[in-house]
Amino acid sequence: MLRRSLYGSLLIVLPLLSLPGCSRSRSQTRPAAQAQQLPVLKTSDDEPEVTAAEIRSLIERLRSQNKPPANPDMRAQRADQGEQWEAVAKLAKIGLPAFHDLIEHLGDQEFCMSLEMPDSGYNFSVGQACYRIMKCNLMPYGIYNATLGEGWFMKRRPRPMYSQQYKLYEPYWAYSWWQERRNKSLRELQLEVLDWTIAEEERSPADFTEEERAFLKACRKKLFASGKAYEPARVLDGDAFY
């Protein structure tokens, strides 16, 4: 059975940039990027005790009974999205055991939730939520593509996105990717993503700051030395995405 202690109050970051297929409304907010901290390591390598039926039930709970709003606003609608947020948090915490079912639902276009981002409001489908739940496990340092450095992050080159390189938002390509890696541990997948991202940035060193490169290398060093996977990416409060 799912254990109550498994989940806590994890809130998952959904992407800030490069959101294919999302409906949006424009806003004028332009917050400054914050320095990132190294991800938190899992306390145990044991996979959560969860059945396939429980995972599928959680994915079903991603479906909202509401209609997609014309002007998405997370703060205004948070109370109406509690069940979806809880399902997102639980699936993210389950992590790798949920990947097969998450991939099966990548093409699900039913409405899940709305989010207000710094520059826009977005309506997310169930499939888009599933994609981002996978991303927050593969990219525990943060699933948005803002790099570290001085000034406003939108003026810097975005961080290379492993999930876009392998088209993990498309069911066919995600399934092919998973078939080649389904015997890997979450830690091994996180190392693969970090190695790819670091290598991509090193191909264009002038486009990325020393702070950015040092951060990713520190993430990798900690992950490699620990022998454990990182917890999925998260935010500390529901309205803060930076």
Q: How does pLDDT run along the chain (242 residues), one tens digit per residue? A: 433 333 343 333 343 333 444 544 443 333 334 456 788 888 876 777 899 999 999 999 999 988 888 776 655 556 678 899 899 999 999 999 999 999 999 999 999 988 766 667 788 899 999 999 999 999 988 766 666 666 656 566 678 899 999 999 999 999 999 999 999 999 999 999 999 999 999 998 888 888 888 899 999 999 999 999 999 986 433 332 22
Q: In angstroms, what CA-CA distances link 32 with 17, 161, 200, 233?
A: 15, 21, 25, 20
Confidence (pLDDT) at 108:
97
116: helix, strand or coil: strand
Domain regions of the chain by residue span = 4-226
Can you say whether the dihedral through the CA atoms of 58, 61, 63, 64 is positive or negative?
negative
Q: How far apart are CA 234 and CA 92, in angstroms?
A: 9
